[in-house]
Structure 1
């Protein structure tokens, strides 16, 4: 098996078995079969509804826990700090494990900043072994760069200036890039120059700063 070394030196298999759309009743058997033929990365999610089956298969496999890489994901309904933290504990219980190797935000909806802070706290507590190890701002900057966008972040704090520059030592997964793309509403959040009301207000403000008419 070939492994990818993540930023914190955790090794993640390049090839794994996913249980999306595998029913809870079938999950245990399917994961048991996957483990028996050599898979060591098992990918599940809270939304799949089959974490318990995954955990049961792993527990019965006889394979040492440290040899299996478990990935799960926080669902969008849990996208606040409090709900994400509680859902991580619930996933740990369903999977029957003390830690999850990689915990992701399934989609970047809701209070995903709060949910990410819950991931950081779970990581610090040893309940999650791997994540990007970056701030939400760094992840956003990296996503924009990987989408071929030149970014100009602004900060008045030197430590944040350093953080904003420290985005070239990691890459985002295809899944995270897809989640990032999904939140694009194709509209400006600060000043929408295609909105007539905004343009009118802007022109009125510019005119107010001049001695005479704009045109």
Structure 2
């Protein structure tokens, strides 16, 4: 598995396995087990996914050393603020059944993010977290939080795919060494994206499917991708992207697909109200 260097000197796998909306009824544990057997070493979960326990069980049962597996989880809004965030970190550690989390993110940009970030920084100092980052933070939201930071985020996890490439944000973050990590890297199954004739042409050329072409584009752009899948064929297919390279001309062509529009606008503050209603514990 290829790795990328973060601004804190640690290394992160360039491709991960996401478990958003994968239920913790055994389905998540099975999917993660299949992913680990297929060669994934980055597993991405979150408190609000309600499946940290399933992820932890799969990792414990895998027989793979803890040091080889890169675990990402995210603090939910319910636990924002300094004191609550400290409890949230400990809750994630307990759910996952691990002594440390490789990367821990602020999941949303609303509420007392400054207090929560302080707790994440403290978690790094205590050895509970290796790297810290953010999710769903635009340039403006990142600039709002940065004066409260002693540690610059290592990662910003954002919606990103060829139709929504986050070009301006990506360029802005590069001056701080913040890695862009893509959720919905395949456009959440967007048929217009997956049926694009230009991408289909590349898939035919390289003997791949369109999803693999898109994931390869992320990799060559220096973007970490975390596709979600539950079927064994998709799990195995998504990781089979390390045996070919897109040409610069092909990369440039894919860049022309950018519409600048995604499915989620973090700066729409109405999101804060609806998301705050989601509770991950009593």
Fold agreement, TM-score > 0.5 = yes
Q: Secondary structure, in 3 states, of the residue corresponding to 1:70? A: strand
Which one has the largest radius of gyration? 1
Q: Secondary structure, in 3 states, of the residue corresponding to 1:4? A: strand
Q: Which residue of 1 aligns with 2:236?
A: none
TM-score (normalizing by structure 1): 0.68
1:136 paired with 2:140, answer: no
CA change 1:128–1:59 in 2 (3 A) is: same
Q: Which residue of 2 aligns with 1:78?
A: 79
Structure 2 portions without partners, runs of 5+: 134-141, 157-167, 184-261, 270-282
1:114 paired with 2:115, answer: yes
d(CA) in 2 for partners of 1:67 and 1:147?
Answer: 30
Q: Which residue of 2 aligns with 1:127?
A: 128
Q: Which residue of 2 aligns with 1:201?
A: none
TM-score (normalizing by structure 2): 0.52
Q: Secondary structure, in 3 states, of the residue corresponding to 1:22? A: coil
Q: Tell me which stretches of 4 or more aligned residues in structure 1 moved more than 4 Å.
A: 146-150
Selected match of 1:182 from 266, 271, 274: 266
Q: Secondary structure, in 3 states, of the residue corresponding to 2:104? A: strand
d(CA) in 2 for partners of 1:47 and 1:149?
Answer: 29
Q: Which residue of 1 aligns with 2:2?
A: 2
Q: Which residue of 2 aligns with 1:91?
A: 92
d(CA) in 2 for partners of 1:111 and 1:120?
Answer: 15
- Kindly tell me the number of residue pairs found equivalent between the two proteins: 166
Structure 1 portions without partners, runs of 5+: 151-166, 186-215
* Contact 2:6–2:178, Cα closer than 8 Å, also in 1: no
Higher RCO (CA-CA < 8 Å; seq separation 6+): 2
> Could you report, residue by residue, the CA deviation over 1:66-118 in whole angstroms, capped at 9, with x for unpaired residues?
00000000011111111111010000001010000000000011100000001
> Could you report, residue by residue, the CA deviation over 1:34-90 in whole angstroms, capped at 9, with x for unpaired residues?
101110000000000000000000001000000000000001111111111101000
> Could you report, residue by residue, the CA deviation over 1:156-181 in whole angstroms, capped at 9, with x for unpaired residues?
xxxxxxxxxxx8241352569x9x96
